[in-house]
Structure 1
Amino acid sequence: MLSVADNELLTRTGRGTPMGDLFRRFWIPALLSAELPAQGGPAVKVGLLGEKLIAFRGAGGKVGLLESRCPHRHANLYWGRNEEDGIRCVYHGWKFGLDGGCMEMPAEPADSQYKERVKAVAYPTHEAGGIIWAYLGPAEPQPEFPEFDWARLPEDHFYVTKRHQRCNWFQNVEGELDTAHVQFLHRELNKNHTFTPQKVFEQATSPEYTIAETPVGMLAIARRGLPDGDNYWRITPFMMPSYTIVPTLPGNRYTFTAAVPIDDTSMWGFTVSWAPDRPLRDDELEQDRSGVRLHVTVDPVTFEPVANKDNDYLRDFDLMTTENFTGIMGIRNQDLPVQEDQDGPVCRRESEHLGTTDRAIVAARRLMLRAAKALADGTEPAQPRHAAAFRQRSFAGEGGGEQAWPELFDGVQASETQALGIHA
């Protein structure tokens, strides 16, 4: 369990908080590229780390990300006019460029230099892999953009979605790192499992964890013994500040997840599925679009999942009896109730009782708390500076009883484990 103070530190990400300052040292997903399809289109509201922002696509396709309040009298720039290379406030016509600089003050005297002294809060953006990313930290040190595997691929190699989730960001991260829950929460009673062989559910031993540090986070390595003497492995990369890759059988597509705080009680969940060496097949895209796998079906405006807390996630008690463990269809949909209703939107971790299968969760907490406290003491995190080390993949599958995890994992890494600097 955590102390009350450490739980507060871990979960609060507003401006001026230790964890909020740590998040601001990384490039984080802000919105989907598809939300700004056309140059000159309307601005989009964006909530990140407790800040209210607006995004717009200007001339040349570049994206501006500004604080929503106009510096003049704080009218919301969301209502503004997108005019070529800037957004114009409809209240008094002040216009601000992609960098936040004030370009025009029409009502001021023609010879006034006042606009040179006024600037809207603006943040750098980078568009890659179907996502518009933002950097909300100080100009120095601004890191290079991470070399995520799918972000370097053609668009037909990946599929990306986002959802609104009604809980603190770390409740989602804990779920991504929790291998033990797969045997229960995602159990199919008809034995038609999407990811995991049935014998793992029925015959494998409880998972034993190894934690290996990487330059950008850690690997959560879970080994289950099988009756034939082999092992079943699930290896989950955790990349700071809040990114994971779901364990995947070799030859299947990989899935990246990001938990991005909107504020302390809600988050954006970004999900990217990709195939490194081929376009996604029609049947794979249909799985993702239908919400039966790791993506969910959402309202196209609010990004609220169709199966949500207000309708009990469409739980069906007949399905609970005959089809699956929860009565909820879709793997990601099954995650939502246990994360959003985990003692409320911010879990009180000071009263929990952890077991041996929670080792990866404990390790991630320690990693994030250590980095946030060090930054508060003046030490900048090293992880954002290792752009190449973000190019990782995961692993799920069997290995001989004598095989160690690096032998299995090295073959599916986008970068060699030695280059990643992994050490247990």
Structure 2
Amino acid sequence: MRITKEQNERLTRVEGDAPMGQVFRRYWIPALLAEEVPEPDCPPVRVRLLGEDLVAFRDSNGEVGLLDAYCSHRRAPLFFGRNEECGLRCVYHGWKFDVNGNCLDTPSEEPGTRLRFRAGIKAYPVFEAGGIIWTYMGPVDTMPEPPDYEWLRAPATHRGVSKTNEACNFLQAIEGGIDTAHSSFAHNNDLSNTKSLRALDRHPKLEVELQPHGFTYASLRRIGGGRKYLRVYQFAMPFMQIRSVLLSWHGQGEDAEYPALHGHIWVPIDDVTTAIYNFAYSARPEQPMPPNWFAEHEVEMGRGPQDFKPGTYWLVREPANDFMIDREVQRTRTFTGIEGVNTQDFAIQTGMGAIVDRSKEALGSTDLAISTARKLLLEATDRAERGEPMLGAAPEDHRNTRAADLLIAEGDAWREVSKDLQSAWY
């Protein structure tokens, strides 16, 4: 899909009243990880979503609040507030707010004043599932039921979730994630291995099918011997990809592989910054993942503890240090010379600039998923302006969806052979 400069602005801008921001406000979106507010009365944390500054806290009863970042009295920052006795108390004059934004106390005013009844602040509804605090920031009359993706139903013993921040617009992060062809190049971490499935065919054939949740797209690679390597991906509007993979786990002197599904959710922090939520879960309800399996996967991706700036979700490898590219490693061992699959993606995506000019692109046949996503997102801006229901927002649109990864015969119809694998098992 050829994108004009005007369409690019409509697709990428999310702050204020921007049309794409209004799209995101009509879905439940991740606001923060549950681990960021781990226990009752823990310190509040700053949250920024769609260009809006907020503060999150978990009250004495374990309920999470997501409020305007500033006190209604003098706009003092509530990040410095005291989280106590089922409320967040501003340290400037002691005004206190509950998880719903109600003002509970105005101790700097005369006793008995009714000021607190009109001093409440903005609060967004939240929903906790899958290790994530989700929020809805749109009109009340268009609010769907909370999400019910299959991975949210997997127990904690079967899944893992993490977060990474990225310094670019959300759309180029999404487009990098749903671009299946680049994995044959950017993520070739062993130049000597010419027999890997993605190295055997570096120009996959893509097919796309529209779905109630967004779309399904299939990548088909010819690998010889009358076989094809099939990967069936799901894109759930407006921001989630799900795919299937065998995750390796190395423990007790034995190597093992476990069938799993994993993916990403790309959430706009503002126009030029994105939070990426990474998740993985066991493909089989009867098979919990081994201890440390997700942590080991994160290290392989370049998202281990040592890869982050202390106390943040920002990577140590960043544009300012050219992602620590090693040109000798690039020449002799890996395609990019950059360590970590996640980091390789970030280097390319942020290197395009904060918001890439898509009017200068020359798309090819392997960009079908990207052009489909753009089309659906542009249509979503029109739906939001007309007040229509959003594609994939209702739980029944996405709850039965999963991805698949398998070898098939040349003559097999991929839709048929992967049909059962694309239905939720949880």
TM-score, reference length from structure 1: 0.91
Give the match for residue 422 of structure 1.
none
Q: 2:318 aligns with which of 298, 304, 308?
A: 308
Give the match for residue 30 of structure 1.
31
Give 1:328 shift: 1.2
Pair 1:120–1:286, CA change in 2 (3 A)? closer
Give the match for residue 413 of structure 1.
422
Please give the per-residue CA displacement for 1:291-340, whole angstroms capped at 9, x wherever unaligned: x1374532342211122222221211222122210011221111111111
SS in structure 2 at match of 1:288: helix
SS in structure 2 at match of 1:335: helix
Give the whole-Å Cα distance in 2 for the aligned partners of 1:205 and 1:310. 31
Give the match for residue 122 of structure 1.
123
In structure 1, give the amino acid aligned to 2:7: D
Give the whole-Å Cα distance in 2 for the aligned partners of 1:359 and 1:289. 29
Pair 1:83–1:200, CA change in 2 (3 A)? closer
Give the match for residue 141 of structure 1.
142
Q: Contact between 1:215 and 1:386, CA under 8 Å: does it hold in 2?
A: no
SS in structure 2 at match of 1:20: helix
In structure 1, give the amino acid aligned to 2:363: L
Give the whole-Å Cα distance in 2 for the aligned partners of 1:211 and 1:289. 29
Please give the per-residue CA displacement for 1:119-176, whole angstroms capped at 9, x wherever unaligned: 2110011111111111111222221111122221221211211111000001111011
Q: 1:268 aligns with which of 275, 286, 290?
A: 275
- Aligned: 1:394 with 2:379: no
Give the whole-Å Cα distance in 1 for the aligned partners of 2:292 and 2:77. 43
Give the match for residue 199 of structure 2.
201
Q: Contact between 2:212 and 2:398, CA under 8 Å: does it hold in 1?
A: yes
SS in structure 2 at match of 1:383: coil
Q: Contact between 2:191 and 2:335, CA under 8 Å: does it hold in 1?
A: no
Give 1:191 shift: 4.5
- Aligned: 1:246 with 2:237: no
Q: Contact between 2:399 and 2:424, CA under 8 Å: does it hold in 1?
A: no
Unaligned runs of 5+ in 1: 417-424
In structure 2, give the amino acid aligned to 1:214: Q
Give the match for residue 110 of structure 2.
109
- Aligned: 1:323 with 2:321: no
- Aligned: 1:76 with 2:85: no
Give 1:387 shift: 4.2
Q: Contact between 1:27 and 1:145, CA under 8 Å: does it hold in 2?
A: yes
Unaligned runs of 5+ in 2: 248-257
Superposition map of 1:17-416 within 5 A: 17-191=18-192, 198-202=196-200, 204=201, 206-249=203-246, 251-276=258-283, 277=285, 278-282=287-291, 284-290=293-299, 292-293=300-301, 295=303, 297-342=307-352, 344-387=353-396, 389-415=398-424
Give 1:391 shift: 4.4
Give 1:200 shift: 3.6
Pair 1:52–1:24, CA change in 2 (3 A)? same
SS in structure 2 at match of 1:59: coil
SS in structure 2 at match of 1:72: coil
Q: Contact between 1:160 and 1:273, CA under 8 Å: does it hold in 2?
A: yes
Give the whole-Å Cα distance in 2 for the aligned partners of 1:264 and 1:391. 32
Give the whole-Å Cα distance in 1 for the aligned partners of 2:81 and 2:404. 47
Give the whole-Å Cα distance in 2 for the aligned partners of 1:390 and 1:172. 24
SS in structure 1 at match of 2:73: coil
Q: Contact between 1:191 and 1:198, CA under 8 Å: does it hold in 2?
A: no
RMSD of aligned residue pairs (Cα, Å): 2.0
- How many residues are paired up? 410
Give 1:283 shift: 6.2
Give the whole-Å Cα distance in 1 for the aligned partners of 2:384 and 2:24. 11
Give 1:106 shift: 1.4
Give the match for residue 419 of structure 1.
none
Q: Contact between 1:389 and 1:415, CA under 8 Å: does it hold in 2?
A: no
Pair 1:55–1:258, CA change in 2 (3 A)? same
In structure 1, give the amino acid aligned to 2:158: H
Q: Contact between 2:71 and 2:77, CA under 8 Å: does it hold in 1?
A: yes
Give the whole-Å Cα distance in 2 for the aligned partners of 1:379 and 1:151. 26
In structure 1, give the amino acid aligned to 2:269: I
Q: Contact between 2:302 and 2:339, CA under 8 Å: does it hold in 1?
A: no
Give the whole-Å Cα distance in 1 for the aligned partners of 2:193 and 2:70. 51
Please give the per-residue CA displacement for 1:335-382, whole angstroms capped at 9, x wherever unaligned: 11111111x110011111111111110000000100112211332324
Q: Contact between 2:244 and 2:260, CA under 8 Å: does it hold in 1?
A: no
Pair 1:150–1:381, CA change in 2 (3 A)? closer
Identify the range of structure 1 (373-382 vs 348-357) with the bigger mean alpha-carbon deviation. 373-382
Identity rate, percent:
36
Q: Contact between 1:144 and 1:387, CA under 8 Å: does it hold in 2?
A: no
TM-score, reference length from structure 2: 0.91
Give 1:248 shift: 2.3
SS in structure 1 at match of 2:14: coil
Identify the range of structure 1 (296-305 vs 39-48) with the bigger mean alpha-carbon deviation. 296-305
Pair 1:272–1:91, CA change in 2 (3 A)? same
SS in structure 1 at match of 2:224: coil
In structure 2, give the amino acid aligned to 1:181: H
